[in-house]
């Protein structure tokens, strides 16, 4: 928390402090202006733009093969799923059939990304609320997932594995055995997470009945992903509008009606196990065949508007493209999950103590570059 000229006391005696832009628990450079009466939060005002990199504007000058790679830097924890959304919208416009092998590999890598993202959330949620050890537990498995990305995609974090019509490279011959190894390690160690954090009474008391987001509010603010599912709202895009082969898979949409921070915690923990279930269905049944459908070297979309949504680790990501028939988008707009989820924070944080704001931020799990883009 940097105290500066903009911190002041209002006429009603409310103390105004700025949380951020440099603050360890905002996970980036979000700035929250907080009006406090003693320790009680009266009002929260998020200030954006500290990491606005004009990705949408840049997309207008890039080709349809290139523009998706910038989205790896948006929600960098679900980089692969963001790339998928960009590839899917082009495939939808060109009506390209993606080979079954590419679809299976995309889903496996995507679900591994989701597990990795939730693991990082688990680590940082523990860290924000004062527990350092969960950080080391979660990163042990995240590191294993990252090494699979490294071996097959060539990058640990920003995979850039996607191309309209399929994937860039085929996976290595030991892909299946490596993924199974990591899944086994994850499943064997999952009980440790529950022992160290889920069963911890102090941690539970910090989260239970804190940050109530009702179902109506979740709909009104446009919340999606685990944040909304913890309020009892069914909104999994993989179930509602299946894409890229998700319709063939068996998995449960995790919904909780707790509405508080604890429910959001539980939903994410359960989602990791569902992702494991998805990968296990696919890993032994990766079809043989091509990895990429044939497309023209210079992709030109027909004139019109195209929209595609996917479920990232944080909610619904929508890619909206206006094409004038050229080789790059006329206008590109991302509907990012974090922006909508952030808009709920001022509403749900009101009336709680300032320490609870950290718990709310930790369980809503914001990625700031995805908000600003």
What is the closest distance, in whole angstroms, from the C-beta atom of residue 351 to another protein in the complex? 26
Q: Does 78 bind another protein (CB under 8 A)?
A: no
Candidates 15, 76, 190, 241: give the one binding another protein (CB under 8 A): 76
Q: Does 305 bind another protein (CB under 8 A)?
A: no
User: Taking contact as CB under 8 A, which single stretch among the options 37-45, 46-54, 98-106, 287-295 is the one that binds another protein?
Assistant: 46-54
Q: Does 17 bind another protein (CB under 8 A)?
A: no
The contacts of residue 360 (CB under 8 Å, 6+ apart) are 210, 211, 261, 345, 348, 349, 352
Compare residues 274 and 328 and give the one whose CB is closer to another protein: 328
Three-class SS of residue 336?
coil
DSSP H or E stretch at residue 33:
strand 31-37
Candidates 45, 52, 216, 252: give the one binding another protein (CB under 8 A): 52
Q: Does 54 bind another protein (CB under 8 A)?
A: yes
| Strands 8-9, 31-37: pairing kind | unpaired
Q: What string marks each residue from 199 to 238 as x (binds another protein by CB under 8 A) or -?
A: ----------------------------------------
Using alpha carbons, select from 119, 249, 257 the residue that is nearest to residue 192: 119
Q: Report yes or no: 92 and 293 within 8 Å, Cβ to Cβ.
A: no
Q: Does 49 bind another protein (CB under 8 A)?
A: yes
Helix axes 175-193, 133-153, angle to 10 degrees: 170
Q: Does 178 bind another protein (CB under 8 A)?
A: no
Using alpha carbons, select from 182, 198, 77 the residue that is nearest to residue 134: 198
Q: Does 156 bind another protein (CB under 8 A)?
A: yes
Q: What string marks each residue from 116 to 155 as x (binds another protein by CB under 8 A) or -?
A: ----x--x-----------xx--xx-xx--x---------
Candidates 83, 158, 231, 256: give the one binding another protein (CB under 8 A): 158
Q: Report yes or no: 213 and 259 within 8 Å, Cβ to Cβ.
A: yes
- Number of residues located near another protein, criterion CB under 8 A: 36
CA distance 327 to 90: 11
Candidates 6, 9, 24, 324: give the one binding another protein (CB under 8 A): 24
Three-class SS of residue 350?
coil
Compare residues 251 and 339 and give the one whose CB is closer to another protein: 339
Q: For 319-327, which contacts have Cβ atoms below 8 Å and span 24 or more sequence positions?
A: 319/85, 319/86, 319/88, 319/89, 321/89, 321/93, 323/93, 325/300, 325/301, 326/300, 327/63, 327/64, 327/298, 327/299, 327/300
Candidates 58, 168, 220, 240: give the one binding another protein (CB under 8 A): 58
What is the closest distance, in whole angstroms, from the C-beta atom of residue 311 to another protein in the complex? 21
Using alpha carbons, select from 190, 91, 131, 145 the residue that is nearest to residue 313: 145
Q: Does 63 bind another protein (CB under 8 A)?
A: no
Residues of the shown chain interacting with another protein in the complex, contacts defined by CB under 8 A = 2, 21-24, 28-29, 49-54, 57-58, 61, 69-70, 72-73, 76-77, 120, 123, 135-136, 139-140, 142-143, 146, 156-158, 368-369
């Amino acid at each position: 928390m940097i105290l500066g000229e903009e911190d002041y006391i209002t006429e009603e005696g409310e103390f105004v402090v700025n949380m951020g832009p440099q603050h360890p628990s905002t996970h980036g450079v979000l700035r929250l202006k907080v009006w406090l009466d003693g320790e009680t939060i009266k009002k929260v005002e998020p200030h954006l733009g500290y990491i606005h990199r004009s990705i949408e504007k840049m997309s207008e000058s890039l080709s349809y093969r290139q523009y998706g790679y910038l989205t790896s830097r948006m929600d960098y924890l679900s980089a692969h799923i963001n790339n998928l959304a960009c590839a899917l919208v082009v495939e939808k416009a060109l009506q390209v059939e993606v080979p079954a092998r590419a679809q299976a590999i995309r889903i496996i890598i995507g679900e591994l990304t989701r597990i990795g993202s939730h693991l990082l959330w688990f680590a940082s949620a523990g860290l924000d609320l004062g527990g350092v050890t969960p950080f080391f537990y979660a990163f042990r498995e995240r590191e294993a997932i990252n090494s699979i990305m490294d071996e097959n995609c060539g990058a640990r974090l920003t995979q850039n594995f996607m191309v309209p019509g399929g994937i860039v490279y085929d996976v290595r011959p030991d892909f299946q055995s490596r993924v199974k190894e990591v899944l086994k390690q994850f499943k064997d160690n999952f009980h440790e997470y529950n022992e160290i954090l889920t069963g911890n009474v102090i941690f539970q008391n910090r989260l239970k009945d804190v940050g109530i987001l009702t179902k109506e509010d979740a709909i009104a603010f446009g919340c999606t992903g685990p944040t909304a599912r913890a309020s009892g709202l069914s909104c999994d895009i993989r179930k509602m509008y299946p894409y890229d082969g998700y319709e063939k898979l068996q998995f449960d949409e995790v919904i909780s009606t707790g509405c508080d921070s604890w429910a959001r915690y539980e939903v994410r923990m359960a989602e990791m196990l569902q992702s494991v279930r998805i990968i296990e269905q696919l890993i032994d049944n990766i079809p043989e065949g091509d990895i990429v459908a044939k497309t023209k070297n210079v992709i030109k979309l027909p004139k019109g508007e195209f929209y595609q949504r996917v479920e990232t680790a944080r909610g619904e990501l929508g890619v909206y493209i206006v094409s004038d028939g050229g080789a790059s988008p006329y206008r590109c707009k991302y509907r990012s999950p974090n922006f909508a989820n952030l808009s709920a924070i001022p509403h749900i944080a009101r009336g709680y103590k300032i320490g609870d704001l950290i718990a709310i931020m930790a369980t809503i799990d914001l990625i700031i570059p995805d908000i600003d883009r």
